[in-house]
Amino acid sequence: MSANADDPFAQLKAAQREGWGLFSPLAAATTPAAAMLVSYAGVRSGQRVLDVACGTGVVAVTAAQLGAEVDGLDLSPVLLADARRNAELIETSIDFREGDVEALPYADASYDVVLSQFGHIFAPRPAVALSEMLRVLKPGGRIAFSTWPPELLLGRLFDLLCEYLPPPPGVPKSSEWGDVGVVRDRLGTAVRDVEFAREEITIPALSTRHYRANMEVTAAPFVKLANELASQPARLAAYRAGVDALVAQFLRGNRVHQGFLMTRAIKR
């Protein structure tokens, strides 16, 4: 299921569907984070698990290897093809579907656990996305997700992108999902026992420029902005200098340190 034509953000989602198709080379870097999230969520054998904005399926496959019954959903058919190949390699059955977190194609109270790793944060309407994730979760089930805090590298980079390429009116910054206060407010009274943990992954990089160049061919917002600024060399140079300055603060020993926030809560 792709974006609905009646959706006010259908055009944005169509662009996301196209842009994130380039992400696959970065998937390996998020594989350790997938294990951290699945562990933090307490996924167990026999549970029904949904991986929202699943990308190449690193979270879904990790959960399936524990014996969970897993479904995955993503906007990008390109990434879903990779997800299916990842599942086939370990001969596990995962139902991967093309779809939208703001209109999940699953029945109410279908899952014991609903997960999302750095994916649902790009939905244009956080309240709608969260409502859908909680709708398909059973009462007493657990929602858990990973996000980029606004004070750490990826949150700061996405905020920098917004300075050059502001989101559409009404669409909040993705870095807000990394603010524990914002997350608590968004979850509201629909859940109990909200908890947070911080973890880190590292990305190999010879220099800040190597890291930036990789992002400009794999991460949709970075790809889009580099293309947008291609005809404005002065602005492109200023933007790239800003990226390099930020990355330099987190580059040590040829590794870029990307800290992230994990949230978990129980649906009432």
Cβ-based neighbours of 153, under 8 Å, separated by 6 or more:
246, 247, 249, 250, 256, 257, 258, 259
How many angstroms separate the CA atoms of 261 and 129, rounded?
Answer: 18
- Residue spans of alpha helices (H) in the chain: 10-19, 27-40, 58-64, 77-89, 126-135, 153-164, 180-187, 208-218, 220-228, 233-248
pLDDT score for 202: 97
Question: Is it the case that residue 18 has pLDDT exceeding 90?
Answer: no
Question: Is it the case that residue 57 has pLDDT exceeding 60?
Answer: yes
How many angstroms separate the CA atoms of 212 and 256, rounded?
Answer: 11
Question: Is it the case that residue 3 has pLDDT exceeding 50?
Answer: no
With contact defined as beta carbons under 8 Å apart, do 72 and 95 qualify? yes
Give the pLDDT confidence of 104-152 residue by residue, as tens digits.
999 999 999 999 999 999 999 999 999 999 999 999 999 999 999 999 9
Predicted TM-score (pTM) of the model is 0.94
Give the pLDDT confidence of 74-91 residue by residue, as tens digits.
999 999 999 999 999 999
How many angstroms separate the CA atoms of 60 and 86, rounded?
Answer: 10
Half-sphere exposure of 68 (CA within 13 A, CB side): 29
Residue 21 — pLDDT band, cuts 50, 70, 90?
confident
pLDDT score for 232: 97
